[in-house]
Amino acid sequence: MSALHDLAVAELARRLRTRDVSAVEVARHFLARGQAFDALGAYLATDEEVTLGQARAADVRLAAGDPAPLLGVPVAHKDIFVTREFPSTAGSRMLADYRSPFDATVVRLLAEAGAVSLGKLNCDEFAMGSSNENSAFRPARNPWDTSRIPGGSSGGSAVAVAARLAPAATGTDTGGSIRQPASFCGITGIKPTYGRASRHGMIAFASSLDQAGPMARSAEDCALLLSAMCGPDPDRDSTSLDMPAEDFGRQLGDSLDGLRIGVPREFFGPGLADDVRAAIDAALKQYEKLGATLVDISLPRTELSIPVYYIIAPAEASSNLSRFDGVKFGHRARQYDDLVDMYRRTRAEGFGDEVKRRIMIGTYVLSHGYYDAYYLQAQKIRRMIADDFQQAFRACDLIAGPAAPSVAWKLGAKADDPVANYLADIFTLPGSLAGLPGMSLPCGFGEAGMPVGLQLLGNYFQEARLLNAAHRFQQATDFHLRKPEGV
């Protein structure tokens, strides 16, 4: 029998239902692994009593024949989702030890599906970053090479899944923060169409871009989790789509014969590392063997996605983060002269450098005299980027390319150059700005044996098709089954 931590979500759920193993046994196993691999920095908060209490409740439901699809399966949550039973910090000193009075909708839905929470996972502060080095508490480390970053902002989630510290995890994707760390850590992650998953209880970064999604080892596992996470939430999230929950795994196993996969020429320019290019080219050839047809397409405004995103996202962040003022909740400076001084000192002490940088950029582009020149123009180009995708989807069904231009880099390598970090999002930002569903799946290895991720993008509401395309690739390859040495 395989070790519990090597079982996929689907197989673990099956063994729990057949009572081959109890939810308490599974929870204890993963809690022990989390402690044993604490040096990876994946977790920010755990509570054995809470987790085992949820596991015992799951065992009672299992014994009663409850058909909940994830009953007893452990899941860990990115610390951007608020939770009643664990601290919710968003990776920031501003919210150190903050306890929410309610669970985020995504957390609640997974609990209703039977998932057992292992704790809260590390992330870049307020989800701002591409490396997880912006966490106020400690960086997460890539289990394939602990001297390297795991990607961000959902770095802790990617590390936990890759190192088998959790069968699955939640993540959020604002500009690529599920897909890029999934690529760097050799796991599978999907961002659904904007509005598919409720943002209620997700600590806001950029409200028109933030979207929750699952991270796991396979497309099959992601389909199970996404089916539980999504659904309308009109009373709590005004941007939630009025679409019923659905089974995103319903197309798994369908033939890829006749599938048209668009390959954007802009994704294969001189900025793409040779080792990543080789892995992506091999993956595309594998799709041809599976019956798909490759179609040359163009996304001409790809390069503009970086300046557009880094105007719109900071602008929304500067508004969203204004609520952290030391008055109602979170950190408050201990010494101050008056109300204005309290605001100033509280925010100076509570926010890290990257968050301050983005607040300042956002405030600038929204200020009188610059709104029309920057923010309004960025919104117009955002619409054009979305139109480019719709033009491309006339010729293809899915779009494929690299998730990132390189494999994971060394910790600290880009710490003094924020623009270099921003450029690493070049391939994920266009889909985020358009609100499209996208995912990353492991497709090979590059420099120093580091994982490479293939990005798949679909048109709106095509998550099931995306997941099937990934699933068929994973049936024909074993990249998603490989794990870092020593875990």
Q: Is the peptide bond before 153 cis (omega within 30 degrees of 0)?
A: yes
Q: Which of 159, 199, 213, 154 is nearest to 180 (CA)?
A: 154
In this structure, are residues 133 and 157 in contact, taking their beta carbons and an 8 Å threshold? no
The two beta strands, 211-216 and 168-173, are: antiparallel
Residue among 88, 130, 135, 177 flagged as catalytic: 177
Per-residue burial over 213-237, b = 16 or more CB atoms within 10 Å of its CB, e = otherwise? bbbbbbbbbbbbbbbbbbbbbeeeb
Q: Has 183 been annotated as catalytic?
A: no
Residue among 153, 154, 406, 440 flagged as catalytic: 153
Helices 219-229 and 9-17: angle between axes, nearest 10 degrees: 70
Q: Determine phi and psi for 467, rounding to 5 degrees.
A: -65, -35
Q: Has 153 been annotated as catalytic?
A: yes
Other CB atoms within 10 A of residue 46 CB: 18
CB within 8 A of 61, min separation 6: which ones? 68, 71, 114
Dihedral sign of CA atoms 52, 53, 58, 61 in order: positive
Q: Which two tokens stand for residue 41?
A: 């920095």
CA distance 264 to 261: 10
Q: Which of 92, 88, 81 is nearest to 358 (CA)?
A: 92
Which residues does the annotation mark as catalytic? 78, 153, 177
